[in-house]
Amino acid sequence: MMLTDPVHINFHCPPVDPLGKDFVIGKLRFLPDHVDLSWRMKGNVFTGGKSEMTTIDLPYGEIEHVELVKKWWQIRKLIFRVSDPRLLGDIPVADMGKLEMEIDDRSHEEAEKLSSLIDFKRSIFLLDAQEERLKAMREE
């Protein structure tokens, strides 16, 4: 696998209340230049049917932290944190820019590729930001 190949992860965020009112399902797509976070509320007794799919475009520079949580030697959960909490503000289970996602069984193999991809993309972003600062200093 090349580090520039897109990674697709299907997830769900279990509700925080016992009645299951805020159950979020979605898909993370790690594309070459940004991350697409597509999500919607799962239909239940309170909301009726399924809600509309919403997509958030996140540049790699906004991703602050990605943690893969393993249980019994298999990745079960993805903790995703962005630097600006307003980006995830519409998602009911997001807490101050932090989103805990349980990875669906069909995405376990893709999740294994994720840590090297994020490290690669973050290093490219940091290198570009450093080059811009150096260029600005030379022009002064």
Which position has the higher pLDDT, 43 or 8?
8
Which is it for strands 54-59 and 34-41: parallel, antiparallel or unpaired?
antiparallel
Contacts of 88 (CB under 8 A, 6+ apart): 37, 56, 82, 94, 97, 98, 99
Res 38: pLDDT:
92
**Which pLDDT does position 2 carry in this prediction?**
47
DSSP secondary structure code for residue 86 in this structure: G
List of E strands, 24-135: 24-30, 34-41, 54-59, 63-71, 74-82, 98-103
At a CB cut-off of 8 Å and minimum separation 6, what does 68 contact? 75, 77, 78, 111, 114, 115
CA distances 3 to 6, 32, 121, Å, are: 8, 9, 9
At residue 46, the pLDDT reads 57
Per-residue confidence (pLDDT) for residue 21, from 0 to 100: 74
7 sits in which H/E element: strand 7-13
Between vectors from CA 68 to CA 108 and to CA 100, what angle results, nearest 5°?
Answer: 95
pLDDT of residue 50: 65
Q: Where are the alpha helices (DSSP H) in the chain?
A: 108-112, 114-139
pLDDT, tens digit, 9 for 90 and up, residues 47-90: 555 678 889 998 887 888 888 888 887 778 888 899 888 988 88
CATH class, range 7-139: mainly beta
In the block, tokens 């994720």 appear at: 114
What local confidence, expressed as pLDDT, does residue 49 receive?
58
Residues 39 and 24: beta-carbon distance below 8 Å: yes
Extents of the domains making up the chain: 7-139
Supply the pTM of this predicted model: 0.72
pLDDT in tens, 9-50: 899 888 877 776 778 889 998 888 888 999 988 765 555 556
Residue 27 is predicted with a pLDDT of: 92
Beta bridge partners of 26: 11, 39
